[in-house]
Chain A
Amino acid sequence: MTLFACGLSHRTAPVELREQLAVDEDKLRELLRDIQATGAVAETVILSTCNRVEVYGVADVAGEARTVAFGHLCRHRGMVPAGLEPYLYMHLDGDAVRHVFRVAASLDSMMVGEPQILGQVKDAFALAQSCETVGPTLHSLFTQAFAVAKRVRTETDIGRHAVSVSFAAVELAKKIFDGLRGRAVLLLGAGKMGELAARQLVEHGAFPIYVVNRTWSRAQELARSLSGSPVPFDELATALGAVDIVITSTGAAAPIVTRPMIGQVMQARGARPLFFIDIAVPRDVEPAVGELADVYCYDIDDLRQVIDANLRERAREADRAEVLVDREVSKFLVRLGDAEVIPTIVSLRERLEAIRSGEVRKALARLPDAPPDTREAMEALSLAIVNKILHAPITKLRESSRAGAGRSWLQLVHELFGLGGRGDKA
């Protein structure tokens, strides 16, 4: 039996092909049952997202399983299987394990570290479980993949740093203010992105929110939707003195917030920091404002620069995550190997125990007058002999399976001890 992971993803196939092949949940149920019914696979899980369509499974002949699975997929979507062939990849055994771990940990994602993929993998697994196409191997594989994904998320910062403008603004604010709870925000202008950033700040605890707009009705409207209060445009300078974070996104042609204005505001504020997030193009805040002490002024390009740095940071963290995944893959393979030989070890023990207890019973029947300590001695002697004999083959089995050569040894042990059944029956 071979573990395999096959399919196509954003790495190999263009988006037109991926969207053509993507399958919804109801169809997936049908597909899982159909594929299982062919008998080509012992276990199956299908993952279908906008970035990948993949089939994971256990089969005697992995190549055949792939042909069957994607044949069914194509038939469902009215496509020609041959057209798909150049885009398909196939990972076997250890590589398949690594692939599943990497997918779940968001290391194979288009945007490395994005958090949705784990949920999608969990859904795919749950769906396969409900269709009863998950056996012991895939069960332990996916359970472990979820654990690895969680470790990657908690032990590396792979998904930590913002890659969107509004979230980057939130993160910067947190680096200045140590938490946003109770930080006052002023939203100047009614740009969509500005509103989004303000909303993010509110979600992270910023309060209260003031909205300034040249059009009073627009200010009122926005303030209502953000649970803030509208402030008349001529009171802008006063409002600037009272808040910690200012988001600007007006359509004004020239800067509204000028250096002399903020110079005055800062004098009244003492050294309380003021953070400008200027999302407007052209800019609403004069660049010179950022030269003032305790004023932090980020325009849209600055935010992009921060996002770029965050992406590099994610890439670094992804390297660390890869190391972690590699370790987990070898650990999992060892366990999988053990799982493969354990049934044989159990039946070997049972077989020898049956022989031992039978022979002891026969011997004792011939010695009806034997005192209790003689009986005990015979039990102990026979047990010791059996355990000594078993020690070497059991150790050898475990070792060979960890070295990846368990199968031939299993066969041998089954034949030598007449255990019956095929050696690789798990």
Chain B
Amino acid sequence: MPGLFTLAVIAYVCATGLAFAYLIQREELVYRIGSVVALGGWVLHGLAIVKAGVEMGRPPLGTLSDAVSVAVWVAVGLMMWVERQYGVKVLGAFVLPVVLMLSVSSVARPLGLGPIDRALSSAWLTVHIALALVGIAAFVLNFAGAIMYLLQERQLKGKRPGAVYYRLPALATLDRLTYRTLALGFPFLTTAIILGSLWASTAWGSVFAYDPLALFSFVAWAIYAATLAGRTAAGWRGRRAAYFSIIGFAALVLTLGAGLFLPGRHGS
């Protein structure tokens, strides 16, 4: 029998397909089915996380792949909320592919099976991970918002409205979405990195401790910090802010990739 998590991923796959179908076909029914499927996947995913937590007797955040899985769960929840709040019905087509990519990377290592470094089993560390994953979830949305902004801007500059033009919301809405998700994700990421560094320096005596994930995460943080500073202090908006969001997210994905696939303290 397939596990809850596998079922959830299957639901996400279906929801992604439906989200693309909606983007192209614009059939209201497709959107509704897609929403229900996504919600179903999210609920299953939530159950899988709870189940893993109960079985292990602690939050299922011990390994990076577990943590990414929870980050995906938060991201999907956030996506559904934003979809309602902003009325951006096509959001799924931009967020779900990222969600899928992240969940597939964590499927490689199923929930709760990773062996845990004794040094890692600490409440402190759980907080570090929990904060980081809320940040990651917000940045998934930030990335989706930036992509949508660039697409819509292209449509408006090109003066030849295509299918996306009719479905995507106004530029100002998309810009606000990327700004707010950045403002939400940044403090979480910052705190997570500070906690992680403190932990690393006490546990291993060095902030980086030759850990690729830590290195990359500083790069991502720096990019996001620059974007936020540009937005608040220098009045950046629109295209430039969108480009930076995309670069920042690329760094974040590299960070996670490094953690999952390169040897280091964050790996299994």
Instruction: Check if A270 sits within 8 Å of B172, measured CB to CB.
Output: no
Q: Does B118 contact A (CB under 8 A)?
A: no
Residue in contact with A176 in the complex, picked from B171, B234, B235, CB distance below 8 Å: B171
Q: Are the C-beta atoms of B237 and A270 separated by less than 8 Å? A: yes
Residues of A within 8 A of B176 (CB): 178
Contact in complex: A296, B160 (CB < 8 Å): no
CB distance from A315 to the nearest CB of B (A): 13
Contact B239 A293 (CB under 8 A): yes
Chain A residues with Cβ under 8 A from B237's Cβ?
270-272, 294
Which of B76-84, B94-102, B161-169 lines the interface with chain A?
B161-169
Instruction: Tell me the chain A residues, 263-299 only, with Cβ under 8 Å from chain B.
Output: 270-273, 290, 293-294, 296, 298
Instruction: Tell me if A294 and B160 are in contact (CB < 8 A).
Output: no
CB-defined contacts of B161 to chain A, threshold 8 Å: 306, 309-310, 313
Q: Answer whether residue B173 sits at the interface, using C-beta atoms and an 8 A cutoff.
A: yes
> Separation in Å of the A163 CB from the closest CB of chain B?
13
CB distance from A201 to the nearest CB of B (A): 15
Is A192 in the interface zone, CB < 8 Å from B? no
A294 near B238: Cβ-Cβ < 8 Å: yes
CB-defined contacts of A290 to chain B, threshold 8 Å: 157
Shortest CB distance A110–B (Å): 23
A178 touches B159 (CB 8 A): no
Complex alpha-carbon distance, A270 and B234, angstroms: 8
B170 interface contact, C-beta 8 A: yes
Specify the chain B residue showing the minimal Cβ separation from A174.
Answer: B170
Per-position contact with A for B230-253: 1 when CB-CB < 8 Å, else 0? Answer: 000011111110000000000000
Q: Is B63 an interface residue (CB 8 A)?
A: no
A271 touches B238 (CB 8 A): yes
Total A-B Cβ pairs within 8 A: 60
B156 touches A172 (CB 8 A): yes
User: What is the minimal beta-carbon distance from A267 to any residue of chain B, in angstroms?
Assistant: 11
Whether A271 pairs with B171 at a CB distance below 8 angstroms is no
How far, in angstroms, from A290 to B238 measured CA to CA in the complex?
A: 16
A296-B157 in contact given A176-B170, A176-B171, A178-B173 (Cβ < 8 Å):
yes
Q: Mark A175-206, 1 if CB is under 8 A from B, else 0.
A: 11111000000000000000000000000000
Tell whether, in the assembled complex, residue B238 and residue A273 are in contact, meaning their CB atoms are under 8 Å apart.
yes
Query: How many angstroms between the C-alpha atoms of A200 and B253 in the bound complex?
Result: 46
Contact between chains at A155 and B156 (CB < 8 Å): no
Which residues of chain A in 287-334 are interfacial with respect to chain B, using CB atoms and an 8 Å cutoff? Answer: 290, 293-294, 296, 298, 302, 305-306, 309-310, 313, 320
B27 proximity list for chain A (CB < 8 A): 320
Per the bound structure, the CA–CA distance linking A248 and B172 in Å amounts to 23
The 8 Å CB contact of A305, one of B157, B159, B172, is B159
A170 to chain B: closest CB distance in Å?
12
A161 in contact (CB, < 8 A): yes
Q: In angstroms, how far is the closest chain B Cβ from the Cβ of A206?
A: 14
A175 touches B165 (CB 8 A): yes
A306–B157 Cα distance when bound, in Å, is: 12
**Does chain B have a CB within 8 A of A157?**
yes
Nearest Cβ on chain B to A195's Cβ, whole angstroms: 23
Q: Does B152 contact A (CB under 8 A)?
A: yes
Chain B stretch 110-165: residues in CB contact (< 8 A) with chain A? 152, 156-157, 159-162, 165
Q: Known contacts A273-B171, A313-B166: does B156 contact A175 (CB below 8 Å)?
A: yes
B173: chain A residues at CB < 8 Å are 178
Count residues of B near A (Cβ-Cβ below 8 Å). 25
Alpha-carbon separation in the docked complex, A236 to B124 (Å): 60
Partner of A178, one of B28, B156, B162, B172: B172
Do A178 and B166 touch (CB < 8 A)?
no
Please, which residues of chain A bring their CB within 8 A of the CB of B172?
176-178, 273
**Mask: chain A, 327-344; 1 = CB below 8 Å from B; 0 = not:** 000000000000000000
With A176-B156, A178-B170, A271-B240 given, is the CB distance from A155 to B235 under 8 Å? Answer: no
Question: Looking across the interface, which residue of chain B has its beta carbon closest to that of A269?
Answer: B235
- CB neighbours (8 Å) of A305 from chain B are 159-160
B77 to chain A, nearest CB (A): 25
Which positions 117-164 of chain A face chain B at CB distance < 8 Å?
155, 157, 161
**Whole-angstrom distance between the alpha carbons of A347 and B235 in the complex?**
79
Contact B28 A155 (CB under 8 A): yes
Please report the C-alpha to C-alpha distance between residue A298 and residue B156 in the assembled complex, in whole angstroms: 9
Q: Kindly supply a per-residue 1/0 record for chain A positions 80-93, scoring 1 wherever the CB is within 8 Å of any chain B CB and 0 otherwise.
A: 00000000000000
B237 nearest CB across to chain A (Å): 4
Q: How far is the CA of A161 from the CA of B173 in the complex (A)?
A: 20
Determine whether the beta carbon of A296 is less than 8 Å from that of B170.
Answer: no
B171 contact set on A, CB distance < 8 A: 175-178, 273
Taking the closest CB of chain B, its distance from the CB of A382, in whole angstroms, is 50
Q: How far is the CB of B21 from chain A (nearest CB, A)?
A: 14
Cβ distance B171 to chain A, nearest Cβ, rounded Å: 5
Q: How far is the CB of B9 from chain A (nearest CB, A)?
A: 32
Whether A175 contacts B170 by the Cβ 8 Å rule is yes
Min C-beta distance of A69 to chain B, whole Å: 40
Q: In the complex, how many angstroms separate the beta carbon of A124 from the nearest chain B beta carbon?
A: 31
Q: Which of B159, B169, B235, B240 meets A298, CB within 8 Å?
A: B159
Nearest B residue to A290, CB-CB: B157
| Residues of chain B in range 185-212 having any CB-CB distance to chain A below 8 Å | none
Please name all residues of chain B whose beta carbon is closer than 8 Å to the beta carbon of A272 when the two chains form the complex: 237
Q: How far is the CB of B190 from chain A (nearest CB, A)?
A: 25
Query: In the complex the two chains form, what is the Cα distance from A270 to B157 in whole Å?
Result: 18
Q: Which residues of A contact B156 (CB under 8 A)?
A: 172, 175-176, 296
In the complex, chain B residues whose CB is within 8 Å of the CB of A161: 166
Distance between B23 CB and nearest chain A CB, rounded to angstroms: 14
Central interface residue in A271, A272, A310, by most chain B CB within 10 Å? A271
Task: Rank and list the top 6 A-B pairs by shortest CB-CB distance, nearest first.
Answer: A178-B170, A178-B172, A270-B235, A271-B237, A309-B161, A178-B173
A-B contact pairs, 19 of them (CB 8 A): A161-B166, A175-B156, A175-B165, A175-B171, A176-B170, A176-B171, A178-B170, A178-B172, A178-B176, A179-B170, A270-B235, A271-B239, A293-B239, A294-B237, A302-B159, A305-B159, A309-B160, A310-B161, A313-B166
